Structure 1
Amino acid sequence: MRGNVVDLAVAVVIGAAFTNIVNSVVKGLINPLVGAIGTKNLDHYTSCLKDPCVVNADGSVKSGVPIMWGSVAGATLSFVITAAVVYFLMVLPMAKYLARQEARRKEREGTQEVIEVTELAVLKEIRDALVAQRAAGHDER
């Protein structure tokens, strides 16, 4: 149980540190690529449900009903990048490692069963030989 708690604590710490890396990648790489098409910041992409949409500089809505789908797209990109990196760098290698360990364990168990069956067969042959030897000794007397 303690091992699982330690693993979970390590995962939380690594995940928190990794969030900063993903945010930097989105802000430093993805946003400029998107900026080649439109604005550099995904947060500026909005649509308006009820005109006129006026948003103050501090982000508060003055009038209208703006839908800020750009910030949702940025958060989604951050999540997808984080999930992909965690999957390909942590989950997939661990799954392959555990599968190899399981295959080795089954291979060892299979080898032990063959050895045990072989030993049992040898012991039966020894017993049969001893019984035959005793029977031969009784017949000569």
Structure 2
Amino acid sequence: MIQGFKEFIMRGNVIDLAVAVVIGAAFTAVVNAIVTGIFNPLIAAIFNAEDISKSMNVALPGGGSLSFGLVLAAIINFLLIAAVVYFVFVMPINKLKEAQERRRAAGLPPKDATVPATELDLLTQIRDLLAADAAKPGTGQSPR
């Protein structure tokens, strides 16, 4: 039983999921800070209201009310969050992937990858080093 649990925990997808949840929580905090700190005050200034969700209420007979402002604020927050996620995170990542794909299609290695030396490259370097060593004065060998 313990062995099965250990195998389950050590699977890559469980650890990946845990990392995704932690990063997602931090990511949510960043996006919410951008929306509430920058965009919500701008929208409130445009609509000349301190808080949109508390405005545009319609009183109903019998004591209830419809809160159109709350729905409008939720829609605006959703659109803002979607825009921030797209323009700050998704679009730059897509551009990087496209550039990487273009490099692959052109037969070029990725920028961070080093091209392994072929046997011919290594033999050429050895020949050049031997020729340079032989051409040094005082080595007792003459260049060929």
Query: Which residue of 51, 57, 74 maps to 1:46?
Result: 57
Q: Quick check: 1:46–1:69 contact (8 Å CA) kept in 2?
A: yes
- Distance, in Å, in 2 between the alignment partners of 1:106 and 1:8 is 34
Task: Determine which structure has greater relative contact order: mean sequence separation of CA pairs < 8 Å that are 6+ residues apart, divided by chain length.
Answer: 1
Structure 2's unaligned 5+ residue stretches are 1-11, 109-144
- Distance, in Å, in 1 between the alignment partners of 2:24 and 2:89 is 10
Deviation at residue 27 of structure 1 after TM alignment: 4.2
State the match for 2:46 in structure 1: 33
State the match for 1:75 in structure 2: 74
| Paired residues, number | 94
- Distance, in Å, in 1 between the alignment partners of 2:35 and 2:80 is 7
- Distance, in Å, in 1 between the alignment partners of 2:104 and 2:21 is 26
Cα RMSD over matched residues?
A: 2.6
Identity among equivalent positions (%) equals: 26
Give the 3-state SS of the residue equivalent to 2:105 in structure 1: helix
Q: Quick check: 1:47–1:66 contact (8 Å CA) kept in 2?
A: yes
State the match for 1:85 in structure 2: 84
Structure (1 or 2) with the larger CA radius of gyration = 1
Given the two structures, how large is their TM-score scaled by the length of structure 1? 0.54
Query: Which residue of 34, 47, 65 maps to 1:21?
Result: 34
1:27-83 deviation digits (Å, cap 9, x = unpaired)? 422112211xxx4321121123x32xxxxxxxxxxx423111101111221221111
Deviation at residue 101 of structure 1 after TM alignment: 1.1
- Distance, in Å, in 2 between the alignment partners of 1:27 and 1:95 is 27
- Distance, in Å, in 1 between the alignment partners of 2:106 and 2:21 is 31
Deviation at residue 24 of structure 1 after TM alignment: 2.5
Q: Quick check: 2:31–2:85 contact (8 Å CA) kept in 1?
A: no
Give the 3-state SS of the residue equivalent to 1:108 in structure 2: coil
Q: Tell me which protein shows more strand as a share of its residues.
A: 1
Deviation at residue 97 of structure 1 after TM alignment: 1.0
CA distance change for structure 1 residues 10 and 108 in 2, over 3 Å: closer, same or farther?
A: same
- Distance, in Å, in 2 between the alignment partners of 1:79 and 1:96 is 24
Given the two structures, how large is their TM-score scaled by the length of structure 2? 0.53
CA distance change for structure 1 residues 44 and 66 in 2, over 3 Å: closer, same or farther?
A: same
1:87-131 deviation digits (Å, cap 9, x = unpaired)? 01110111111122122122218xxxxxxxxxxxxxxxxxxxxxx
